[in-house]
Amino acid sequence: MHSILERLHQVVENHLSTIAFASCKEKYTYEELWRAISSVASALTKSPLNKGPVLVYGKSDFYTLASLLGANMAGYAYVPVDSHSPFARVKMIIEACTPSAIIVTLQKELDSDLKALLSQYQVLYRESFNAEKPITNLKNMVRGEDTNYIIYTSGTTGVPKGVEISHNNLLSFTEWMMHDFRQIEQNQVLLQAPFSFDLSIFSIYPALLAGGTLVSLSREETTNFKYLFARLNNTEINTWISTPSFVDICLLDPSFVQKRHRKLEQFIFCGEELTIKTAQKLLECFPEATVWNTYGPTEATGSVTQLKVTKDLLAKYDRLPLGKAKPGVEIQIHDPKRRQKLSVGERGEIVIIGNSVAKGYYQDDVKTQAVFATVDKRSVYYTGDAGKIDGTGQLFYDGRIDFQIKMNGFRIELQDIEAHLMAIAEVNKAVVLPQIDANNKVRALVAVVVPNEKVTDEKQFIKYLRKRLILEIMDYMMPQRFVLMDEFPLNRNGKTDRKLLSEKLLKV
Ligand code: AMP
């Protein structure tokens, strides 16, 4: 079995002038991609590095992609960090993963705090990767059980958790994507998700290992409808990969229909619930396309189930199933308290077992042991998702057993935001509640705060809370509404009664 980079090398040799990566501004061939990967790898190999991963700080652009793969070629796991993250979060990730080097692919001047932090590490800038004829050296490449990447996700204490994915995890996922979904010649594949979100692996690896083209969207395009719709109408995407929330936005554009996008043959969704409403609209607008619902957490390498969504299925269920497990994976439903397997049809925690399960959380044994295990030599991950398996083996999702939510496809631990609110001296207590609509989608977050002292100007105080929070959390985690209270209601166990608060405050 060849490694991902060995396979990519073969693809490169057969597709030298094929476009591997296209953004709105630039296009790069496979030959250029391989040259960039090799020059990153040789720059890393020249420097004296320790065993830690290589953190890559940048946007969703060509050089950032080449840096991730270049780190792997030199034998290092990569840690992708989006340059739109607040400084406090970047700092936490750097300190948590203790990188042996940091690659910065941004061309603009960095702010002074970041510069000062980076000065303590070995930093390689994009300019140093311009070798004319870099040598391909696969001797040290990442392979087998080596760690391929570490992706940091929201953590309950406010400190992100680094999910450590092995090369074998990623290879198994990639092979499944390449065999069990629709295979399209010269596949143009949408790359919507930033590299720091594991949805990006759905695009990167299956597209590149089949000689396809990654059609990348910039942050400007994903956050501005005008640019987004214009760009989409200028592309000829065959395979669409995104969260359902993202396609909901695109469906607002009347030109997002089969007649206008004739080559769009396949939609693959993951990251959050695909509602009947979205699937129905999509099949109406793209009657000839194949639509897949897939499910999985970062901790199980992208996705572990697959369901082809048809009109018949939409008529049969009021909430879409997630499908059945990929090869090498078994899914069970457990009683979350006793961690024992439940019977067909019973609701419990979704447990993923097999070759997609991550190594654990990087350098965090306590958090790893809480949700990962090895049973009969197989890796097990307790997802925290609630669900059931019916008599036909279909898996169904039914919310969470904890306080993690998905909003617009982003994974958010409500306790992460709460921890940052509580760290503000003027805040005595804080809870963050999700506002959920009739389709089970989180529409907004509401922060409920008990201040330390009586607040005279509520508007000003809330403005202050927002200003403090944005220094610590990602912008998509910012609550849409803030409510100030003198005290929280308590439940019978003496804990904050979140249910009562939700009933009181979130009535639509
Ligand atoms: P992430 O680690 O960001 O990929 O988020 C993983 C979580 O997203 C899962 O644990 C689920 O809660 C949710 N999720 C992913 N895919 C689906 C899906 N198809 N339907 C419902 N929820 C999903």
In whole angstroms, what is the distance from residue 249 CA to residue 364 CA? 37
Examine the fold and report which residue of 351, 369, 400 is the final residue of a domain before the chain moves on: 400
Average pLDDT (413-431) is 94
Residue 176 has pLDDT above 70, yes or no: yes
Q: The tokens of 62 are what?
A: 């060509």
Q: So what's the pLDDT on residue 127?
A: 80
Q: What is the CATH number of the domain that holds 146?
A: 3.40.50.980
Which ligand 1 atom sits nearest the alpha carbon of residue 320?
Answer: 20
**Phi/psi at 460 (5° precision):** -65, -40
The protein residue with its alpha carbon nearest to ligand 1, atom 6, reads 297
In whole angstroms, what is the distance from residue 256 CA to residue 253 CA? 6
Q: What is the CATH number of the domain that holds 414?
A: 3.30.300.30
Q: Which of 153, 163, 273, 410 to mutate to test the pocket of ligand 1 (most atoms within 8 A of CB)?
A: 273
- Contacts of 494 by beta carbon, 8 Å cutoff, 6+ apart: none
- Contacts of 158 by beta carbon, 8 Å cutoff, 6+ apart: 415, 416, 419, 420, 423, 472
417 and 466, same domain (yes or no): yes
Average pLDDT (390-408) is 94
Whether residue 358 has its Cβ less than 6 Å from ligand 1: no
Total domains in the chain come to 4
Per the document, the length of the chain is 508
Q: So what's the pLDDT on residue 131?
A: 62
Q: The tokens of 409 are what?
A: 């496809």
> For residue 10, is it within any domain?
no
Examine the fold and report which residue of 400, 415, 436 is the final residue of a domain before the chain moves on: 400
Q: So what's the pLDDT on residue 109?
A: 84
341 and 424, same domain (yes or no): no
Whether residue 188 has its Cβ less than 6 Å from ligand 1: no
Average pLDDT (449-472) is 96
386 and 427, same domain (yes or no): no
Q: Dihedral sign, CA of 446, 447, 448, 453?
A: negative
> For residue 224, is it within any domain?
yes
> Could you list the residue range(s) of the whole structural domain that residue 366 is in?
328-400
CB 130 within 8 A of CB 64: no
What 8-state DSSP symbol labels residue 382? E
Residue 508 has pLDDT above 60, yes or no: no
Q: So what's the pLDDT on residue 134?
A: 77
What 8-state DSSP symbol labels residue 233? T
What pairing do the DSSP bridges indicate for beta strands 54-58 and 101-104? parallel
Whether residue 271 has its Cβ less than 6 Å from ligand 1: yes
> For residue 9, is it within any domain?
no
Examine the fold and report which residue of 355, 375, 400 is the final residue of a domain before the chain moves on: 400
In whole angstroms, what is the distance from residue 327 CA to residue 329 CA? 6
> What are the pLDDT digits (tens) for 228-272?
999 999 999 999 999 998 999 999 999 999 999 999 999 999 999
59 and 159, same domain (yes or no): yes
The protein residue with its alpha carbon nearest to ligand 1, atom 4, reads 297
Which ligand 1 atom sits nearest the alpha carbon of residue 397?
Answer: 21
437 and 358, same domain (yes or no): no
> What are the pLDDT digits (tens) for 66-90?
999 999 999 999 999 999 999 999 9
Q: The tokens of 234 are what?
A: 């200028």
Whether residue 272 has its Cβ less than 6 Å from ligand 1: yes
CB 156 within 8 A of CB 413: yes
Place of tokens 């994915």: 165
- CA distances to 85, 224, 238 from 219, rounded to whole Å, are 12, 8, 21
Element (H or E) spanning 34, and its range? helix 30-46
C-alpha 83 to ligand 1 mean position (Å)? 24
Average pLDDT (47-58) is 90
Q: Quick one: the chain helix, strand, coil %, rounded to 5?
A: 30, 30, 40
Q: Three-state SS for 10? A: helix
Closest CA to 142 of 206, 50, 43, 73: 73
> For residue 395, is it within any domain?
yes
The protein residue with its alpha carbon nearest to ligand 1, atom 14, reads 272
What 8-state DSSP symbol labels residue 323? B
In whole angstroms, what is the distance from residue 326 CA to residue 338 CA? 26
C-alpha 323 to ligand 1 mean position (Å)? 13
